[in-house]
Amino acid sequence: MRLRRLVLPLLALLLGSAAAHAQNVTRDVRLIVPYAPGGTVDALARMLAEALSPALGGRSVVVENRSGGGTFIAMQALMNAGPDGHTLSIASTAVLATSAVLPGMVMPIDLDRALQPLSSLIRVPMVLVGQPNAPFRSLAELIVHARANPGRLNIGQSGQGSQTHLLAARFKHEARLAMEEIQYRGGTPALLDILSGNADLYFSLLPESLPFIRDGRLRAIAFASPERNPALPEVPLMRETLPGFTGDVAYGLVVAAGTPPAWLAYWNAAVNRAMNAPEFRARAAALHWVPSNGTPEDYAAEIARDRQVWGEVIRAAGIRAGS
């Protein structure tokens, strides 16, 4: 019995490895990105496509940006492609985790039924940014100003159920602020609006806003991370003013539900090889990403944990889609 317990997992591993290597990529592979070109997720997709393509026997991984709809346009495109083993999509872990528990959320597809987690990819620090000439410098000053001027400030978000939507809604609730939300198709359009003076605030991915923070065109107000960031050690944390307030963003890879296990094994192994390569890790570190790749089961568990955590926040704050 003891020998059987040792042999069976090894046999499963060998069979999974054989299935992974037995797959035949017969055409170019689509890697769908649910955001506009130019941002962190787009950069991640292009790095991943570059790392995966050389092992595909002359085929390429082609990045396809399908932004809008709170990432549902991309998720629908993935579902419609079917479980063909030749279509992958990056997904927002927050959207996968919260769509089913966000009151008022209207979903064109059931993400739990339509998609299959493939691998977690990265976590990225989130920082609240604003205009450098705004009449507030710190989070405490921002709260005082916003309370004194209800409805005068706005804050961006990148789609219903996204991490930026949850952070914006949570901030308004916990700080007791009346503030308009503006929905964008990603971080780049939101930052451009702040840079041009047309928007006030946004919870930005650090890699997207850091160059503008360093050259003085954006002001970093506070991080939503649990610890201060070495790239900007002087910038405080949201939780230093609003206790318990954290929420970095995470992204992963998904495929259409019903994708054969052999294809899951193939792509999971390929993604892990690509992301664990020293060159990929060095580039990720330079971009302030925290790699988090692993098995499909690991990613499914991560989604379940985030659903529990954000579900509690959503209920406590009374967050609704469209609010």
* Calpha distance 214→192 (Å, rounded): 16
* Calpha distance 190→162 (Å, rounded): 14
User: Residue-wise pLDDT tens for the chain (323 aa)?
Assistant: 443 444 444 444 444 444 445 478 999 999 999 998 988 899 999 999 999 999 998 999 999 999 988 899 999 999 999 999 999 999 999 999 999 899 998 889 999 999 999 999 999 999 999 999 999 999 999 999 999 999 999 999 988 788 999 999 999 999 999 999 999 988 889 999 999 999 999 999 999 999 999 999 999 999 999 899 999 999 999 999 999 999 999 999 999 999 999 999 999 999 999 999 999 999 999 999 989 999 999 999 999 999 998 998 899 888 888 76
Q: Could you give all domains of the chain from N- to C-terminal order, each with its CATH number? A: 27-123+249-317 (3.40.190.150), 126-241 (3.40.190.10)
Query: And the tokens for 33?
Result: 């990105």
- Taken in order 281, 68, 115, 100, the sign of the CA dihedral is positive
Which residue has tokens 């990225």? 124
* Calpha distance 20→30 (Å, rounded): 18
